[in-house]
């Protein structure tokens, strides 16, 4: 049991974004959260990653209550995330972005007088992640000069550079051309094996990707969990097909 949410509720004034959502993620699992727009996926991710406080319910990470402790402490505890609208450091190079993550991981953020350039662990760590994600060649480019797909990769890569135990990806392939999507997912899976990631949660709209990679799928609808099962079971769940997937048959 790595991550566990119980009875999460989130109210924005009168609007109920989440209405009693519970889920668990165990070691080795790749879980996808699917659902139509407005189902509460982003809210759920924000609560799980400590950005938002739930109105009710609890979140336990590695058997600690973590609801609302904030992203900084969660990152230290071993949880990382990427963003739906890609988030980068525009004026930092690819390498610097990754170095920052490694610095944070190694707890060296408050070293004021040592040279970053001569810190071998940081340099090696950052380079390793860059290579894992195929960004090594462009590592000296400022992040804002990267093409959109690479920015996405960088966003995810910097989360990986934290060597987290669990990572939450908010639409990792959105805004990316179909040809690149598989490439990104493959890179992701390979990288997660390399760094010993214990679980992945993703929010994803592309059903092909979802069914190709997930161990388990959680379908959200109007703030509630509609279904929580393996892909095969989900495929035969009529409610899910009606509300989320759509009627066109999904290939294997």
Residue of the chain from 30, 83, 160, 213 that contacts other proteins (CB under 8 A) = 83
Residue of the chain from 15, 37, 63, 91 that contacts other proteins (CB under 8 A) = 91
Instruction: For other proteins, give the closer residue by CB, 102 or 226.
Output: 102
Instruction: For other proteins, give the closer residue by CB, 3 or 88.
Output: 88
Residue 87 sits in the site that holds other proteins (CB under 8 A): yes
Residue 201 sits in the site that holds other proteins (CB under 8 A): no
Residue of the chain from 81, 181, 198, 221 that contacts other proteins (CB under 8 A) = 81
Contact range with other proteins by CB under 8 A, out of 106-114, 196-204, 208-216, 225-233: 106-114
Distances in whole angstroms, Cα of residue 226 to Cα of each of 36, 47, 86, 221 = 12, 19, 28, 6
Contact range with other proteins by CB under 8 A, out of 20-28, 108-116, 198-206, 235-243: 108-116
Q: Within 142-161, which residues bind other proteins (CB under 8 A)?
A: 145, 147-148, 155, 158-159
Give the CA diameter of the chain.
61
Contact range with other proteins by CB under 8 A, out of 54-62, 100-108, 128-136, 214-222: 100-108
Smallest separation (angstroms) from other proteins to the CB of 251: 31
Q: Taking Cα atoms as reference points, which of 190, 175, 100, 178 lies closest to residue 143? A: 100
Instruction: For other proteins, give the closer residue by CB, 72 or 190.
Output: 72
Residue 105 sits in the site that holds other proteins (CB under 8 A): yes
Residue of the chain from 32, 49, 192, 243 that contacts other proteins (CB under 8 A) = 49
C-beta separation of 220 from 234 below 8 A: no
Instruction: For other proteins, give the closer residue by CB, 110 or 249.
Output: 110
Residue 80 sits in the site that holds other proteins (CB under 8 A): yes
Q: Round to whole Å and give the CA distance between 89 and 99.
A: 12
Instruction: For other proteins, give the closer residue by CB, 119 or 165.
Output: 119
C-beta separation of 123 from 180 below 8 A: no
The three-point CA angle 186-78-202 to 5° equals 40
Counting every residue written for the chain, the total comes to 252
Residue 72 sits in the site that holds other proteins (CB under 8 A): yes
> Rule CB under 8 A: which residues touch other proteins?
49, 70-72, 75-76, 80-81, 83, 87-92, 96-97, 99-101, 103-105, 108-117, 119, 122, 141, 145, 147-148, 155, 158-159, 162
């Amino acid at each position: 049991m790595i991550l566990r949410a119980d009875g999460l509720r989130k109210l924005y004034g009168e609007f109920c974004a989440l209405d009693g959502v519970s889920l668990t993620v165990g070691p080795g699992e790749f879980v996808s959260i699917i659902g139509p727009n407005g189902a509460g996926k982003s809210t759920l991710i924000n609560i799980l990653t400590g950005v938002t406080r739930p109105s009710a319910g609890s979140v336990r990470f590695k058997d600690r209550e973590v609801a609302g402790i904030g992203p900084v402490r969660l990152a230290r505890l071993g949880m990382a995330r990427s963003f739906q609208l890609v988030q980068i450091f525009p004026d930092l190079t690819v390498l610097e972005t990754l170095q920052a993550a490694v610095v944070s991981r190694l707890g060296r953020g408050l070293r004021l007088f040592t040279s970053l350039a001569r810190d071998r662990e940081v340099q090696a760590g950052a380079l390793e992640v860059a290579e894992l994600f195929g960004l090594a060649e462009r590592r000296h480019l400022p992040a804002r000069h990267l093409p959109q797909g690479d920015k996405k990769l960088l966003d995810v890569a910097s989360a990986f550079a934290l060597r987290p135990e669990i990572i939450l990806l908010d639409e990792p392939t959105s805004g990316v051309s179909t040809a690149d999507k598989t490439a990104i997912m493959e890179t992701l899976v390979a990288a997660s094996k390399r760094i010993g990631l214990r679980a992945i949660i993703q929010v994803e709209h592309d059903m092909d990707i979802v069914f190709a990679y997930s161990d388990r799928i959680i379908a959200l609808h109007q703030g509630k969990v509609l279904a929580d099962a393996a892909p095969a079971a989900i495929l035969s769940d009529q409610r899910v097909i009606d509300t989320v997937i759509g009627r066109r048959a999904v290939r294997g």
